[in-house]
Amino acid sequence: MDVIWILLALAAVVVGYVIVTFNQLVSLRNRVREAWSDIQVQMKRRYDLIPNLVETVKGYAGHERGTLESVVKARGEAMANTGDPASQARSENMLQATLKSLFALVENYPQLKADANFAKMQADLTDTENRIKMARRYYNGSVRDLNIKVEQFPSNLVARQFSFVQAQFFELDEDEAVAASRPVRVDFGAQRS
């Protein structure tokens, strides 16, 4: 009789552990999804700011068509990319590089830098970039927490049983990080028509 009670108690502990671990995994997975959604909201905000920024620059520096077209093209590719975080990170890195080129171009146009609308758009874009960085940090922290739970023993047994998988981090590849840190080369002579 005592053996039966011990086995029932042990079974209750195992079932309780599975339930608690399953709920923790669901919570972590939903936190990752929510964090990814936050990143997408901020990226959309940036995508919405870029056309007005390009039009303002075009008014002052219309002959810099190549740079402006590359910003518009990178924005379009980033907006169209709905792949995994690694794929979207590549698109976002390209967009950031073209925006960096755009702001390097602006340095040669003091009237544009003094334009109130441009200054506000630039401040809004900077604020959005900061929000994306914060959202990226939160997302990557949530991914880390989920991945730890999916990998650690014995929670990995529950994760495997209920098909919980590791999430991808949203970060720069090493080559892209190096490329993004290089100074932008702007050649105004070659761009003029």
pLDDT in tens, 140-161: 999 999 999 999 999 999 999 9
Q: Assess whether pLDDT exceeds 60 at residue 30.
A: yes
Rounded Cα distance, 93 and 99, in Å: 10
Number of domains the chain contains: 1
Is the backbone of residue 136 left (phi > 0), alpha (psi -120 to 50) or beta? alpha
Cβ neighbours around 66 below 10 Å, total: 15
Give residue 51's domain range: 2-191
Tell me the average pLDDT across 156-167: 95
Tell me the average pLDDT across 91-107: 86
pLDDT at 172: 56
pLDDT at 110: 80
Residue predicted with more confidence, 167 or 109: 167
CATH code assigned at 25: 1.20.1440.20
Cα–Cα separations (whole angstroms), residue 22 to 13, 68, 153, 167: 14, 50, 14, 16
Q: How many alpha carbons fall within 13 Å on the CB side of residue 125?
A: 20
Q: Assess whether pLDDT exceeds 80 at residue 187.
A: no
Q: Assess whether pLDDT exceeds 60 at residue 190.
A: no
Residue predicted with more confidence, 1 or 138: 138
